[in-house]
Structure 1
């Protein structure tokens, strides 16, 4: 029987793997600098769903194949066919909306591991993840103003929440490229490492997360997401509920026991 954890989707342009309790999704279109097509968005959704439903997976890394790009943009060669006017663009957005929502509301921690170009649609993917770890080669930008397209509310909301309104305006109005050092300084990425060390460092963070109590991480993820919403939109009941689940969990008992016994806890996520 084939290993369900190793899957190739979207004609091999999305790869899905599991290593040590860490799910890995690879954007595998290096000839086009991993430009995102609709088929790749749909493959991404399928991979995210499989890893979400796999109890062995505690955290998910998104990474680009090769060393040239994370995701360089949406596949502009498709635009003539799929996004040539408002109506077609609306359909394109609708078809990728489910996958974007899946990543935005993902119940497990997500990490973007970024080498090379992270532009446009690639920035959207990276900003939807919880944590962004960058190689020193990375370049960031949103060239929407150079193409004459509006970037969309969700993407800009995430950008503003990371870098603030002034930098969001500068990035959007100029379409400029930002290097990894600048991206770190303005808060667009969380850590920058030499490219050669990037993957091991990202896996190390993922393994650390994977060893912690899943319910406690879920509580943090839910609470931070609610804190970013307008007060009227916050689901305080969801925050209270996950707090109760944590305090009543076997993992909380295990955490206490492990601490007292000076050993590494073995968390089960319940």
Structure 2
């Protein structure tokens, strides 16, 4: 079972959304969002998508939060996909599926364009919609016994453009075809080999490894990280769609910042810098 500490003296009060199926907390500059539907292996319902959106907005607007971790509750799954029990009501035909997509579109766009780094801390099943969530994160760290897959072909549904764009970007078109055409599952070793995840760690070390990276990010200069995030996002776009002015402005903000001056002083004084994000 993933060892996520429940109590921390530096932890702000927990919040919950979607009737407790989305949990939100903050500790040491790190925001944590937990998919808390373990009886259904954290399958995502529309209410959970909406709750995820609320949590993301609150953590985005919290100046103490510099990085966000996404994690699944229990010991079975990160997110095992969409809640198929809702399909008869919400996705039973093309019109209903389109309405379902519209209702979750704002949350998916928020996740895709989030201004702060997001780390997906993955253990157990990461399937279908769970893959969509994980692939939208900046960094994916997984326990060695995790499983990944997109079973759309086994359900008779089309996987969305955004999800497939991210999949092709991470693993390339050949592996994207193999995964999509077969609906196969792969383990963490294969996932890290093909570039789907960034790091594989022993199950018992997952939370510690994730928090170590999150705290490192939190201690670095926020404007420099934001500049890197903006620039990488633009690099991934087609040349004609790139916003080079956004890249330039992010660079200017860094060079004119207090943090840049603090970084230089700390280097010369051989001490750890204290960045303020301004």
Does the 8 A contact of 2:12 with 2:27 survive in 1?
no
Displacement of 1:4: 7.0
> How many angstroms apart in 2 are the aligned matches of 1:82 and 1:217?
39
Question: Superposed, which structure 2 residues align to 1:189-268 within 5 Å?
Answer: 189-268=197-276
Which whole-Å CA distance do the structure 1 matches of 2:195 and 2:237 have between them? Answer: 19
Q: Which runs of 5+ in 2 are unaligned?
A: 1-10
Residue equivalent to 2:184: 176
Large movers: runs of 4+ above 3 Å: none
The 5-angstrom pairing of residues 61-80 of structure 1 reads: 61-80=69-88
> How far apart, in 2, do the equivalents of 1:30 and 1:241 lie?
43
Provide Cα deviations, 1:91-146, integer angstroms capped at 9, x if missing partner.
Answer: 00011110010010000000000000000000000000000000011100000000
The match for 1:153 is: 161
Compute the TM-score of the two structures, normalised by the length of structure 2: 0.96
CA distance in 1, matches of 2:37, 2:221: 35
Secondary structure of 2:277 counterpart: coil
Match of 1:10 in 2: 18
Deviation of 1:176 (Å): 0.1
2: CA distance, partners of 1:265 / 1:6: 29
Where structure 1 has 5 or more consecutive residues not aligned to the other structure, the ranges are none
1:13-92 matched pairs, under 5 angstroms = 13-92=21-100
RMSD: 0.8
Task: Please name the residue that 1:104 is paired with.
Answer: 112
CA gap of 1:75–1:165, structure 2 versus 1, over 3 A, is: same
Please give the secondary structure, in 2, of the residue aligned with 1:238: helix
What's the CA shift string for 1:213-242, capped at 9, x where partnerless? Answer: 000000000000000000000000000001
Q: Distance in 1 between matches of 2:145 and 2:21?
A: 23
Question: Which secondary structure state, in structure 1, belongs to the residue aligned with residue 197 of structure 2?
Answer: coil
Q: Partner residue of 1:131?
A: 139
Q: Offset of 1:5 from its aligned partner?
A: 4.6
Compute the displacement of 1:265 (Å).
0.2
1:197 counterpart SS class: helix
TM-score by length of 1: 0.98
